[in-house]
């Protein structure tokens, strides 16, 4: 982890951090984080296959084909669930996670997705954005209530079937 002073000059390079004088250096996180949140180190990219699988090229290739096929089945099931009842996006991301155990491109897509989701979550927690969302939701509910009351005033509650039969 690099140490950086408030003026942007890197400090602590080539010397022991504990013995370094207190010169205002602070740990610099590698991505967006909040105050007080520990800095997380990302896992290295690449295959997470067991060592005995990696020892043989043919076995590793077979492992990759198996992981790809299992991930493909899960992703296709998630795509099918998008218009049908079921957790489509959750299943798609589960398939991407399966692919991410073996393929670097899937690991990069998952890292990008995690960053975007955390950025959107931070943005949604912003008080101005929350206030705007609450105001827009309230205005939308008022408009729906007015339109519903106009409809009921004009047409009343009419059932499409006859109850008297």
Can you give the pLDDT at residue 7?
45
Can you give the pLDDT at residue 34?
53
Q: For residue 104, name the pLDDT band (cuts at 50, 70, 90).
A: confident
pLDDT at 142 over 90: yes
pLDDT at 58 over 70: yes
Q: DSSP alpha helices (H): ranges in 41-103?
A: 51-54, 57-81, 88-100
Mean pLDDT to the nearest integer, 26-46:
58
DSSP 58: H
β-bridge pairing 26-27 and 3-4: antiparallel
pLDDT at 76 over 90: yes
Secondary element (H or E) of residue 10 = strand 10-11
Terminal CA-to-CA distance of the chain, rounded, Å?
80
């Amino acid at each position: 982890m690099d140490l950086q002073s408030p003026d942007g000059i890197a400090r602590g390079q080539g010397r022991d951090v504990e013995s370094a004088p207190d010169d205002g250096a602070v740990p610099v996180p590698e991505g967006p984080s909040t105050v007080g949140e520990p800095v997380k180190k990302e896992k290295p990219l690449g295959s997470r296959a067991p060592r005995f699988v990696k020892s043989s090229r043919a076995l590793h290739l077979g492992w990759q084909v198996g992981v790809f096929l299992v991930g493909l089945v899960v992703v296709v099931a998630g795509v099918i669930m998008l218009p049908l009842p079921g957790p489509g996006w959750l299943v798609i991301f589960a398939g991407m996670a399966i692919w991410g155990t073996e393929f670097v491109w899937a690991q990069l897509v998952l890292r990008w997705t995690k960053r975007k989701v955390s950025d959107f979550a931070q943005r949604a927690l912003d008080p101005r954005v929350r206030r705007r969302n609450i105001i827009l939701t309230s205005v939308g509910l008022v408009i729906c209530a007015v339109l519903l009351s106009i409809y009921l005033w004009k047409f009343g509650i009419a059932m499409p079937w006859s109850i008297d039969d």
